[in-house]
Structure 1
Amino acid sequence: MNAISDPQTLIPAEADQGFAVDLRHGLGLRARNTMAFQDVVRGIGLWRLALMLSWLDIRLRYRGSVLGPFWLTLSTAVMVGALGFVYAYLFKTPIHTYLPFLALSLTLWSFLSSMVSDGSVVFTQAEGMIRSMRVPFSLYIYQLLARNVLIFAHNVIVIVVVFIAFDSPVSWSDFAAIPALVLWLIDGAAVALMLGAVCARFRDIPPIVSSVMQIAFYVSGIMFKPDMLGHRSIYLLYDPFYSIVEVLRAPLLGHLPSQMTYVSALGFSAVLCLLGWFVFLRVRHRIAFWV
């Protein structure tokens, strides 16, 4: 009888190694918090494994391809070039200011969208490993984050090329993007904890998430500059996608976001983290049975 068939039992040898996954149910809030926290900490201790698995995911995804993940870079570059001139004309915006904005926006949105869509299937895609290996559930979250960061690093090439071509200035405000990127990773982990667990139980939610992301792309200030809305741009602060994108995009464009943008982004992030942690506490011991 193993630890999964008997939730009250742990195999001592595996527990000593720190890889046993405690799936006991019927515990109090304090005990569930402790177990979930231990899961997260043990996952951090396996960061080398998460990085290796993420790199393996990328290699398997583009197996047999000549350019590999650089196909994403090429497709992003083509989209920036094709849409940049058209929308600059439609919006009557100088191309030398709009194209860097669009290149940065599309690259960041690709990163954000991938974290959300991958987060909704993070546990179902790892079904084989969950059923055959006893590792912390948080390991799959770190694997997702590492994979998307590596892919994002490839797409940064598009931003660098466009910024150099249009002589976009570099300023000290660019360093404000570093804490914003950390906030993105925290939010990505929270999204994966929440959506990954819920979507493991309800398999019809990932298509809904995909539809929501498509709608958010058009209304969250990705294709258009916020100042094009005039005084109505204040309503964008009620859009979590806009706030999260803007705190990272604005510093890279040479100016700091407004104080209200930071408040909006941090507020939405706090709510997201609380929801993610709450869901993880409630259903952590059931994930292995749902996948």
Structure 2
Amino acid sequence: MHTPTDVTPLASDSQTFTRAFKDFRDGFGQRELWLSLGWQDIKQRYRRSVLGPFWITIATALQATAMGLLYATLFNSSIKEYLPYVTIGLIIWNVINASIIEGSEVFIANEGLIKQLPSALSVHVYRLVWRQFLFFAHNILIYLVLLAGFGVWEHLRWSSLLAIPAIVLVFLNSMWVSIVFGIFSTRYRDIAPILSSTALMLFVLTPVMWKTQALQTQINAGSRAHLVEIVPTFHYLEIVRAPLLGEPSALRHWVIVLAITAVGWIVAVFAMRKYRSRVPYWV
């Protein structure tokens, strides 16, 4: 009787890069599911309201107007110049903030679907990013008003088209942030409130409502104003806001954002490889 001696045990492929990338492909292939769910999220939030999702635009416009008027007065700046600056900054910040806070709870919030629906884990990330994009699309209507009402269009150049790849980069980062923070927040529930506090701190440190030039004009504050460069969200804000305002965008902002994007996606792929199969048990 022949006894095989070279038989190797079958190894599970649940923690391989192949399965991780397959999850991304399968999740994108189920786009009818996450496109529908993302749109339903918005409709559910504004169900039975007359204006529906346009309350998103109204709320952002009111917030931007109030803050723009306040900070323009504090910094003795022109409303015509300062309000577009604040409004665009707030629109982009809303995407960044949602990526951090909602991204950290992306799997916890979808516990029922993860346990009952046989779908790729990335479906829930696609759904979240799609929902954020819909919010962004509603808010960008405010920018169109600024183009006409505040003469922003007069400053636009061909370089303003750089806003398109910049926005794509913001949402690419939103995906890896949701994956990494979502996985680890599912395993360690203390991470979500920590990230919420961190997002608030970043909002204060990032020049959403204030300008670095305002600090540089203060006595002995010129060198300290450059400390904002160590805040990563500042660079994301600049690559989008500068082109939309018709201002030049410094190369260093793009280099830093591209570097963070590359590192972030590497971490996200490793996280999906290592922990993707464990998330359904953690939720």
Confirm or deny a common fold (TM above 0.5). Answer: yes
The one-letter code matched in structure 1 to 2:274 is R
Any residues of structure 2 matched to 1:116-135 within 5 Å, and which? 116-135=100-119
Any residues of structure 2 matched to 1:60-79 within 5 Å, and which? 60-79=44-63
Any residues of structure 2 matched to 1:254-269 within 5 Å, and which? 254-269=246-261
Is 1:172 matched up with 2:158? yes
User: Contact between 1:237 and 1:264, CA under 8 Å: does it hold in 2?
Assistant: no
Shift of residue 208, structure 1, vs aligned partner: 1.4
Q: Which residue of 2 aligns with 1:88?
A: 72
The one-letter code matched in structure 2 to 1:240 is P
The one-letter code matched in structure 2 to 1:265 is V
Larger-gyration structure (1/2): 2
User: Contact between 2:61 and 2:142, CA under 8 Å: does it hold in 1?
Assistant: yes
Q: Which residue of 2 aligns with 1:19?
A: none
Shift of residue 204, structure 1, vs aligned partner: 2.3
Shift of residue 163, structure 1, vs aligned partner: 2.9
Query: Normalised by the size of structure 1, how large is the TM-score?
Result: 0.86
Say which SS state the counterpart of residue 120 (structure 1) adopts.
helix
| Distance across 1 between alignment mates of 2:111 and 2:273 | 20
Shift of residue 118, structure 1, vs aligned partner: 1.4
Any residues of structure 2 matched to 1:107-146 within 5 Å, and which? 107-146=91-130
Is 1:279 matched up with 2:250? no
Of 231, 239, 243, the residue aligned with 1:247 is 239
| Distance across 1 between alignment mates of 2:80 and 2:134 | 28
Of 215, 227, 241, the residue aligned with 2:201 is 215
Shift of residue 70, structure 1, vs aligned partner: 1.9
Report the more deviating stretch, 229-238 or 214-223.
229-238
Is 1:181 matched up with 2:167? yes
User: Contact between 1:25 and 1:285, CA under 8 Å: does it hold in 2?
Assistant: no
Shift of residue 286, structure 1, vs aligned partner: 0.2
Shift of residue 237, structure 1, vs aligned partner: 2.3
User: Contact between 2:13 and 2:19, CA under 8 Å: does it hold in 1?
Assistant: no
| Distance across 2 between alignment mates of 1:91 and 1:266 | 32
User: Contact between 2:67 and 2:209, CA under 8 Å: does it hold in 1?
Assistant: no
| Distance across 2 between alignment mates of 1:100 and 1:146 | 25
Query: Normalised by the size of structure 2, how large is the TM-score?
Result: 0.88
Q: Which residue of 2 aligns with 1:204?
A: 190
Is 1:229 matched up with 2:221? no
Against the structure 1 CA distance between its residues 222 and 36, is the aligned structure 2 distance closer, same or farther, given a 3 Å change threshold? same
Is 1:55 matched up with 2:39? yes
| Distance across 1 between alignment mates of 2:39 and 2:201 | 31
| Distance across 2 between alignment mates of 1:220 and 1:275 | 24
Shift of residue 166, structure 1, vs aligned partner: 0.9
Report the more deviating stretch, 87-96 or 155-164.
155-164
Say which SS state the counterpart of residue 71 (structure 1) adopts.
helix
Report the more deviating stretch, 241-250 or 260-269.
260-269
Say which SS state the counterpart of residue 201 (structure 2) adopts.
helix
Aligned identity (percent) is: 35
The higher-RCO structure (CA 8 Å, 6+ apart) is 2
Is 1:191 matched up with 2:177? yes
Is 1:46 matched up with 2:30? yes
The number of residues matched between the two structures is 266
Say which SS state the counterpart of residue 102 (structure 2) adopts.
helix
Is 1:149 matched up with 2:133? yes
| Distance across 1 between alignment mates of 2:198 and 2:109 | 21
The one-letter code matched in structure 2 to 1:175 is L
Shift of residue 243, structure 1, vs aligned partner: 0.8
- Give structure 1 stretches of 5+ with no counterpart: 1-23
Shift of residue 171, structure 1, vs aligned partner: 1.9
Shift of residue 71, structure 1, vs aligned partner: 1.8
